[in-house]
Amino acid sequence: MTTQAAQTGRAGRTLFIGGEWCDADAGERIDVRSPSTGETFAAVARGGKVEVERAVAAARRALAGEWSKLAGFERGRIMTRLSDSILAHIDELAELEAQDTGKPLTQARTDIRATARYFEFYAGATDKILGDVLPFLDGYQVTVQREPRGVVGLIIPWNYPASMFGRTVGPALATGNTVVLKPAEDASLSCVRLTALAAEAGLPAGVLNLVTGLGEEAGAALSQHPDVDFLSFTGSPEVGTLIQTAAARNHVPCVLELGGKSPQIVFEDADFERAAQTIVGVITQNAGQTCSAGSRVLIQRSVYERFSRLLAERMSAIRVGAPHADLQCGPVINATQAEKVKGFLSRARETGIGVLAEGSLHESAVQGGYFVVPTLFGPVPTTHELAQDEVFGPVLAAIPFEDEAEAIAIANGTAYGLVAGLWTENGARQMRVAKKLRVGQVFINNYGAGGGIELPFGGVKRSGHGREKGLEALKEYTVAKTIVLRHD
């Protein structure tokens, strides 16, 4: 990692408020550790309540200023310039993202392309946010217009910081809002650099404000702020509860994406090769630290042994190493996460759950890094924590089922409901099962659909509520206003 890449803000500053780079008032900073080595390689400002106050005030001023006067297509042109700039800086941003999160360079580059695509997609939507004309009484004209919510607070996680920047900031800006962004303290650096590129693309001062800091300080202050009009949060259900409670006190709406325990359902007529390759790839991508990772594979009992062997072969071939080795799997984000995942592995073994396969450590997986060996367990009882709880690591639980009814019951039998994968060539079964799964997305004979910037994303139950991505996100960042005109 170069000094230039680590020093992402002006003079190493990582707070961007009202168009200016600055330090925290108290001068405090948070060390950033490399997941690959455990060593400190950078630092970010420890912003808190004071900095959030300033950022919200700057966003409020910008909302009433130049930004409110721009036509939709003018906002779109700024966002298009940002998209182009992101692609022009892809090598720098990918290196930054890989160093910060530990993910392989190829995965990091994919994330940066997705970030650019978010701004490209939403740039094209800025002048196409349509209202309605409603039929009403004779002599009246009724229109429904969609207006920006105002100042929006975005609290994003550490697993995909760059693409989450695009996923939240993109629709917020497209709809005319102003933003205060709080990235995770474990992985803020790509967001700092992206904020700098946004300013260079011509975003007016105060439209996008960035406050780095701890979740319990800066994140809490943002979620509790009475002058924030809308909140978006991605993270754990426990913190999501705190966010929603804080929002409720100010009567502020929010979108929450709170994780999942997503099932991959494999029937006896599935394309086994494609399914196995995809299922293992998904659970080891980003070291399993993906909210939609298919961490349960439900296999029809008639083919359980055959398909689980194929999964085992695929899992055994996975190698874990540092980002520069560019393997299939990198380290988890920090020591706490590594300890948590390894705890799941230890308890599963202690309770007698069979290990069907394990990946291996590459020579680049040095001591001190937060490396976890990908593991396939099976058969796993449906009540076991591996089948119920979000591990957020490269751990896959194989569970046999008898028929459609049992598969649906097992798939729906957790507190989560985010995504499901369905593997079968039977067209009637595809729709039958898909309709009965209590999730926000169902992928049939594929999973993830290449990032799916265009696809509405979100869950039910403990996975949260509201929708991100696609045109559906524009509804979340706007509010409907009904105007009734009497003209007779």
113: number of Cβ within 10 Å: 17
- Residue 8 — pLDDT band, cuts 50, 70, 90? low
Does residue 56 contact residue 179 with C-beta atoms inside 8 Å? no
Q: Fold for domain 263-452?
A: Aldehyde Dehydrogenase; Chain A, domain 2 (3.40.309)
pLDDT at residue 451 in the model: 72
Q: Average pLDDT of 18-30?
A: 96
pLDDT at residue 7 in the model: 52
- Residue 135 — pLDDT band, cuts 50, 70, 90? very high
Angle between helices 90-101 and 72-88 (to 10 degrees): 80
Residue 43 has φ and ψ, to the nearest 5°, of -150, 150
- Domain edges within the chain: 11-258+467-482, 263-452
pLDDT at residue 6 in the model: 44
Place of tokens 């290449």: 450
Q: Average pLDDT of 231-246?
A: 96
Q: For residues 14 and 9, which has the higher predicted lDDT (pLDDT)? A: 14
Q: Average pLDDT of 296-301?
A: 98
pLDDT at 300 over 90: yes
pLDDT at 1 over 50: no
Three-point CA angle 149, 152, 158, nearest 5°: 145
pLDDT at residue 251 in the model: 97
Tokens describing residue 112: 């940066």
What pTM value is reported for the model? 0.96
pLDDT at 4 over 70: no
Does residue 126 contact residue 153 with C-beta atoms inside 8 Å? no
Of 11-25, 415-429, 444-458, the range with the highest mean pLDDT is 415-429
Q: Give CATH superfamily name and number for 11-258+467-482.
A: Aldehyde Dehydrogenase; Chain A, domain 1 (3.40.605.10)
Q: Give Cβ neighbours of residue 169 (< 8 Å, ≥ 6 apart).
A: 154, 179, 181, 198, 208
Residue type for position 106: T
- Residue 9 — pLDDT band, cuts 50, 70, 90? low
Q: Tell me, yes or no, if 257 is annotated catalytic.
A: yes
Q: Average pLDDT of 345-364?
A: 97
The residues that bridge with 484 in the sheet, in sequence order, are: 142
Distances in Å between the Cα of 378 and the Cα atoms of 253, 387, 389 are 42, 10, 16
pLDDT at 5 over 60: no
Catalytic residue among 257, 390, 468, 476: 257
Q: Average pLDDT of 172-187?
A: 98
pLDDT at 486 over 80: yes
